[in-house]
Amino acid sequence: MLVVARILYYRSRVHLIARCHSALLCSMASIQSQLNGTQKPKDEDVQEWRHRQEPLIDSPARIRKLIVAQSDPLLAKEIFDLALHHPNFRHSYATYHVLIIKLGRARHFDFMESLLSSLKCQQYVVSSSLFSHIIKIYGEAGLPDRALKTFYTIIEFNMKLSHKHLNQILEILVAYVNFIQPAFDLFKEARFYGVCPNTKSYNILMRAFSLNDKLSIAYSLFNYMLKRDVLPDVESYRILMQGLCRKGQVNRAVDLLEDMLNKGFVPDTLIYTTLLNSLCRKKKLKEAYKLLSRMKVKDCNPDIVHYNTVILGFCREGRAHDACKVLSDMSQNGCLPNLVSYRALVSGLCNQGKYADAKIYIEEMLLKGFSPHFSLVHVLVRNLCSIGLIDEASKVLENLLQHGDTPVAETWLEVISRVCVVDDTGGIANNIKEVMKMEVKPYTKLVEVGAGLQEYLTNKLSRSRKL
């Protein structure tokens, strides 16, 4: 009922337009008859006639405003159609433009196409932006075939195609595997339609073929680009390097980097991230560290992602000591380590049995406000205890408490079970769980955490030392 009421409301508005126009015609006829005769027209009639010469609500601009203000596209179409019944009325192109986009976004494609055909029949001068909107609408609707048809419709309107139109339709088509070949055909035929592919056009096709395991075609396009005097850009090189790295051909990717540098291009951070990742996966850690060191020389300062990539690579291969050197380089180059940096390093040191070094980095990360994962703390404390460094393990727990972090009950039990002569291990575990329920604030001392914990970690620890 609401929709019907709104239609009736706008129908009445347009009918009012017609009545105003009719009254205007009658007034003009009256004045004209007086001018042709001997009777002098009345002053009030002339004033009324002049008043009605001012813009009326049935002007194209007024109708356009009504359509723009209408949120319901079907009601907007109703207003458009009713205005056409007005004698000698002709919509402006701006009205068509607004309504076509409104209908398209609401997925009323048949109405949209009908209005587009009307524009052609009535020989309106159409802007290229209208077709860009329609192609985008079909692309967002997942209709690449209709988007391609719209592209060819531009030619039917005797309009000159632009690189924007070509690249827009190519991006839509290559998003669908079945339309990559039609996109390639259009790419090759584009110059016959008056538009030659530019660097972005080549990049779109190169990326599509590279992602669909057709790297050889992407490489051919790159070489053909050079023959056509189309200059590649950083993205062109990046697309090929990423494709090579996905296929495990990291050496060729590095060679391409050298070619890029020799031609005066400055690689972006994403290119270095891709190469560092691939080198680390291939266990070429020496080459990865060398590339990391070269970045600053080549006007591209390494960021936290680049450093962490190499740190993780060293730690995975059991070379945590080298990872420590990378962490040191970070600070010297003005890049501060983050939580990922410390967690990777401490985990790598623990895996290699370098628990004393791991403890140092745990303390450093706590001082910088980072919280180590509870599993990492548990591994460190357990292994420190296993090699007899119970004092060091206790200090780790105390540092955690002082910085507002609470170790899990199992971690406490690792220390207590080694410093106490205990008969009821299950009872101690229950007591520790009760202690863990207490709120631990920053700078809470270890002996203040629980009533029985002080005796365990002071009296019993001192007794074990005497023994």
Region 23-44: what's the mean pLDDT?
A: 45
Torsion over CA: 340, 342, 345, 346 (sign): negative
Longest CA span, the chain: 137
Per-residue confidence (pLDDT) for residue 395, from 0 to 100? 85
Residue 423 has pLDDT above 50, yes or no: no
Do 367 and 400 lie in a common domain?
no
CATH number for the domain including 281?
1.25.40.10
For position 366, what pLDDT does the model report?
87
Q: What percent of the chain has pLDDT over 90?
A: 51
Give tens-digit pLDDT for 97-146: 999 999 999 999 999 999 999 999 998 999 999 999 999 999 999 999 99
Residue 312 within any structural domain of the chain: yes
Last residue of one domain, picked from the residues 126, 158, 182: 126
Which of 93, 139, 136 lies closest to 116 in space, CA to CA? 93
Which are the contacts of 162, defined by CB distance < 8 A and separation ≥ 6?
128, 195
- Of residues 24, 108, 109, the one with CA closest to residue 59: 24
Q: Is 252 among the domain residues?
A: no
| pLDDT at residue 451, rounded to an integer | 39
The alpha carbon of residue 261 and the mean position of all alpha carbons in its chain are separated, in whole angstroms, by: 28
The residue out of 64, 99, 126 marking a domain boundary is 126
Q: Are residues 64 and 111 in the same domain?
A: yes
Exposed, middle or buried: residue 197 (CB in 10 Å: 0-12, 13-18, 19+)? buried
The residue with greater pLDDT, 254 or 458, is 254
Q: What integer pLDDT is reported at residue 379 of this predicted model?
A: 85
Integer Cα distance of 136 and 141 in angstroms: 9
**Tens of pLDDT, residues 54-100:** 444 458 899 999 999 999 999 999 999 998 888 888 999 999 999 99
Distances (CA, A) of 329 to 303, 319, 385: 12, 16, 32
pLDDT at position 436 is: 52
Domain count for the chain, please give it. Answer: 3
pLDDT at site 205: 97
Note the pLDDT of residue 216.
94
42 and 102 part of one domain? yes
Burial 371-397 (b: 16+ CB within 10 A, else e): bbeeebbbbbbbbbbeeebbebbbebb
**Is 328 part of any domain?**
yes
Are 277 and 327 in a shared domain?
yes
What pLDDT score does 52 carry?
47
How wide is the angle at C-alpha 465 spanned by C-alphas 461 and 467, nearest 5°? Answer: 120
For 89-103, 206-220, 351-365, which range has the lowest pLDDT when averaged over its residues? Answer: 351-365
Q: In which band, very low, low, confident or very high, does the pLDDT at 367 lie, cut at 50, 70 and 90?
A: confident
Q: Among 91-95, 155-159, 247-251, 326-330, name the one with the lowest average pLDDT.
A: 155-159
Residue 22's domain comprises: 1-126
SS (H, E, C) the chain: CHHHHHHHHHHHHHHHHHHHHHHHHHHHHHHHHHHHCCCCCCHHHHHHHHHHCCCCCCCHHHHHHHHHHCCCHHHHHHHHHHHHCCCCCCCCHHHHHHHHHHHHHCCCHHHHHHHHHHHHHCCCCCCHHHHHHHHHHHHHCCCHHHHHHHHHHHHHCCCCCCHHHHHHHHHHHHCCHHHHHHHHHHHHHHHHHCCCCCHHHHHHHHHHHHHCCCHHHHHHHHHHHHHCCCCCCHHHHHHHHHHHHHCCCHHHHHHHHHHHHHCCCCCCHHHHHHHHHHHHHCCCHHHHHHHHHHHHHCCCCCCHHHHHHHHHHHHHCCCHHHHHHHHHHHHHCCCCCCHHHHHHHHHHHHHCCCHHHHHHHHHHHHHCCCCCCHHHHHHHHHHHHHCCCHHHHHHHHHHHHHCCCCCCHHHHHHHHHHHCCCCCHHHHHHHHHHHHCCCCCCCCCHHHCCCCHHHHHHHHHHHHHHC
Residues 354 and 423 in one domain: no
Whether 238 is in a domain gets the answer no
Higher pLDDT, 261 or 47: 261
Residues 10-15, mean pLDDT to the nearest whole number: 50
Question: pLDDT value at position 25?
Answer: 41
Residue 22 is predicted with a pLDDT of: 46
Residues 345 and 315 in one domain: yes
The pLDDT mean for the chain works out to 81
**Which of the four pLDDT bands, split at 50, 70 and 90, describes residue 304?**
very high
SS3 string of 421-449? CCCCHHHHHHHHHHHHCCCCCCCCCHHHC
Based on the domain organization, do 1 and 46 belong to the same domain?
Answer: yes
Residue 30 — very low, low, confident or very high, per pLDDT cuts 50/70/90?
A: very low
pLDDT digits (tens, 9 = 90+) for 380-389: 888 888 888 8
Instruction: Give yes or no: residues 11 and 82 share one domain.
Output: yes
CB burial of 125-142 (b: ≥16 within 10 Å; e: otherwise) equals ebeeebbbbbbbbbbeee
- Both 8 and 86 in one domain: the answer is yes
Q: Looking at 126, 144, 168, which one is the last position of a domain? A: 126
Whether the Cβ atoms of residue 291 and residue 299 lie closer than 8 Å to each other: no
Per-residue pLDDT reduced to its tens digit, 430-463: 555 555 555 444 444 444 444 344 444 445 445 5
Question: Is residue 228 assigned to a domain?
Answer: no
CA distance 20 to 70: 23
| Residue among 65, 167, 153, 88 at smallest CA distance from 115 | 153
| Pick from 175-179, 266-270, 377-381, 417-421: least confident | 417-421
- Per-residue pLDDT for 419 more than 80? no
Instruction: Answer yes or no: is pLDDT of 329 > 60.
Output: yes
pLDDT in tens, 268-303: 999 999 999 999 999 999 999 999 988 877 778 899
Q: Is it the case that residue 12 has pLDDT exceeding 80? A: no
| Best CA proximity match to 180, nearest among 218, 127, 140 | 218
The pLDDT of residue 462: 52
Looking at the fold, whether 93 and 121 belong to one and the same domain comes out as yes
51 or 391: whose pLDDT is higher?
A: 391
| pLDDT value of position 43 | 52
- Looking at residue 75, its pLDDT comes to 94
Asked whether residue 428 falls in the same domain as residue 394, the answer is yes
